[in-house]
Chains A and B, each alone.
Chain A
Amino acid sequence: MTYLQLFYEFFKTGLFAVGGGMATIPFLREIAEKYPWYTTADLIDMIAISESTPGPVGVNMATFAGYMAGSFLGALIATLSLVLPSYLVILVIARMMAAFRDNKYVNYAFSALRPAVVALMATAALSIFKIAFCHDAPVNELFNNIDIKAIVLFLILFLIMHTLASPKLKKYALHPVIYIAVGAIVGIML
């Protein structure tokens, strides 16, 4: 019965949470109130752990919630139910895109959509930067919470990768995971 409820709840979450992982949080809170699987207080820990472990945060949170409800099988069912609706929706859209790729109006739409999405990415990045450099402080407290060490490390890493990304040095470019590993090591040593 729990597995059926998990399927229903996470399919619903996957179908109605529009805009990525964070958009699933309101649904996860509703689930916490409706079922005895986990509490709202647990949810805060689940979000923190999901953000700090590998994997897309939305998937991690669903796996975590599913595990709390029905251990490994629960985790599996919750995660698969979460991604099933978007898999089906994207299949339909991908098929349509393949058919309309050369359509004049589709290209018109994308000519403005692409710059707009770069802006959306930039604002998403800003909120990540705020967490990394200002301890996620509220806007009026940002300058009192600047993490100088984080900014210095950021600048060093960014300068190295940006230099190595130039056409001349491209063959020396390092894989992103190298930078992640360096960050982790420096973090532990400091």
Chain B
Amino acid sequence: MKELLDLYVSFFKIGILTFGGGMAMLPMLNSELVEKRKWVTEEEILDYFAIGQCTPGIIAVNTATFVGYKKRKALGGLMTTLGVISPSIIIITIVAAFLGNISDNVYVQKALWGIRVAACALILEGILKIGKKGIKDAFGVIIFLLALLSVLFLGAKSVIIVISSIIIGIVYNIIRAKGVVK
């Protein structure tokens, strides 16, 4: 029971501290789940993001379900999912009901400017950290660069990147394994 409550509280915190999309959640996932609770590793977070890119729904919610399932199966997934959406339901309801024009307020805009900049620094640090775990050899560097260039210059969609890297990974390792056997 205690653990289920912990799952809910952790993801409530992650939800309330996430400004923007799934990417902005990365620093919070690192500090809350990897470092503080030690529920998952950085590699697992990468895997969840990968699957979240090509499955239906919000990536933040998909990641929450994964972590919850890992700890306490379907019920755990339910607690983390409810945890990550609870702040939105509370805050957006209040904003929609009373402060429809909150984003027009000059102080809110100034604060958001600073929050956005701080979030960028956190995101860069988060990517450097998770990149070290995700890119371990020359093959990884090549895949990283190929994927990066395909998105930036060819406008490749995430789904295409995910599917083609799965195929490349399987083919490359089969060929390499055969080479070693010989």
Contact = CB atoms under 8 A, between A and B. Distances in A.
Given A87-B65, A116-B162, A158 B121 contact: yes
B33 interface: no
B53 A179 contact: no
A129 B141 CA distance: 23
B116 A59 contact: no
Given A180-B118, A184-B114, A112 B143 contact: yes
Interface in B69-103: 69-70, 74, 77-78, 81, 84-85, 87-89, 91-93, 95-97, 102-103
A20 B130 contact: no
Nearest to A50: B92
Contacts of A99: none
A184 B162 CA distance: 36
Contact of B56 (A18, A114, A162): A18
Contact of A111 (B65, B81, B173): B173
B118 A179 contact: yes
Interface in A1-35: 14-22, 24
Contacts of B4: none
B49 A121 contact: yes
Contact of B77 (A58, A91, A107): A91
Interface string B113-137: 1111111111111011111011100
Query: A-side binding surface: helix, strand, loop or mixed?
Result: helix
A59 B122 CA distance: 22
A53 B91 contact: yes
Contacts of A124: 21-23
Interface residues of A, number: 93
Given A114-B50, A120-B158, A94 B77 contact: yes
Interface in A146-181: 150, 153-154, 157-158, 161-162, 165, 175-177, 179-180
A45 interface: yes
A115 B143 CA distance: 6
Given A94-B77, A180-B17, A113 B119 contact: no
Interface string A98-139: 000000010111111111111111111110110111000000
B112 interface: yes
Contacts of A125: 23, 120, 123-124, 127
24 contacts: A18-B55, A24-B58, A49-B95, A52-B19, A53-B95, A56-B15, A63-B93, A75-B89, A87-B61, A90-B62, A97-B47, A107-B173, A111-B169, A115-B143, A115-B147, A116-B162, A117-B46, A117-B162, A118-B135, A119-B145, A120-B49, A176-B17, A180-B19, A183-B115
A-B pairs, 6 with minimum CB distance: A86-B57, A187-B114, A112-B169, A183-B118, A55-B88, A119-B147
